[in-house]
Amino acid sequence: MMQTITALPQPVIARVQGAAAAAGCQLVAQCDLALASEAAKFATSGVTWGFFCSTPGVAVGRNLLRKRAMEMLLTGDLIDARKALEWGLVNRVVAAENLLQETEKLARQIAEKPPGTVAAGKRSFYQQMELGVAQAYELASRTISASFAHPEGREGMDAFIEKREPPGKRR
C-alpha cells in the first residue's frame, strides 16, 4: 500500500487530527503532502516495546533529515505537530477547527492544475529521487521537454506568451 501512494498519478494528502504512531506515522511520511492539527502527535515507538519500527523507518527516513529520523526511531518519543513541521514530516499545522477546510483548500488548489502535468511531475519527482544527480537531471530534462509537447504544456506556454492567465490558475 505504501508504494502505491507514490505510484498514484494524483497527489495524496494526509490529514492528521490526533496521534499517528508507527504505521500511522509511516503513512503520513509516505503521503505526498500532510496537514496536521495543532493537537497532532507523531511517534515510531516500537523500540520502546522491543521491536524496531523498520517499515515506518523507510518512509520516515526518506522524508526527514537522517538524524531526525533516527531520533524518532531510536527514542520512540512523541513529537508534537510543531516539531513535525520543523522536522519536515508535515507541510502545515493548523487549528483543529480549520484542518478539514485547509486540507480541502490545498486539494482544490492542486486539482485546478492541469492533471497530466501534475501526474507527470509527481512521477518524475519520485523517480529522480532514486537516481544520481546526473541521471536525475537527465530524467528531469526529458520530463520538462515532454511537458512542452503535451497539449497542457502548449496551452500554458501560449498563455505565458500572450500574457494571460495559465489554464491551471483561476481567480
Domain count, the chain: 2
Asked if residue 49 is part of any domain, the answer here is yes
Q: What's this model's pTM, rounded to 2 decimal places?
A: 0.85
Domain that holds residue 128: 113-161
Confidence of residue 89 (pLDDT cuts 50, 70, 90): very high
Q: Higher pLDDT residue, 156 or 95?
A: 95
CATH label of the domain that carries residue 139: 1.10.12
139, 97 contact by CB (below 8 A): no
Asked if residue 7 is part of any domain, the answer here is yes
**Cα first-last separation, the chain:** 36
For 12-24, write each residue's pLDDT tens digit.
Answer: 999 999 999 999 9
CATH label of the domain that carries residue 61: 3.90.226.10
Residue in 147, 156, 111 with CA at minimum distance from that of residue 11:
111
The rounded distance, in Å, linking the Cα atoms of 22 and 54 is 9
My answer on whether 30 and 57 are in the same domain is: yes
Asked if residue 166 is part of any domain, the answer here is no
Asked if residue 171 is part of any domain, the answer here is no
For the cut 50, the answer to whether the pLDDT of residue 171 exceeds it is: no
Q: What is the mean pLDDT of residues 79-101?
A: 98
Of 40-49, 114-123, 145-154, the range with the lowest mean pLDDT is 145-154
My answer on whether 101 and 119 are in the same domain is: no
My answer on whether 47 and 101 are in the same domain is: yes
Of 27-31, 141-145, 152-156, the range with the lowest mean pLDDT is 152-156
For 30-73, write each residue's pLDDT tens digit.
Answer: 999 999 999 999 999 999 989 899 999 999 999 999 999 999 99
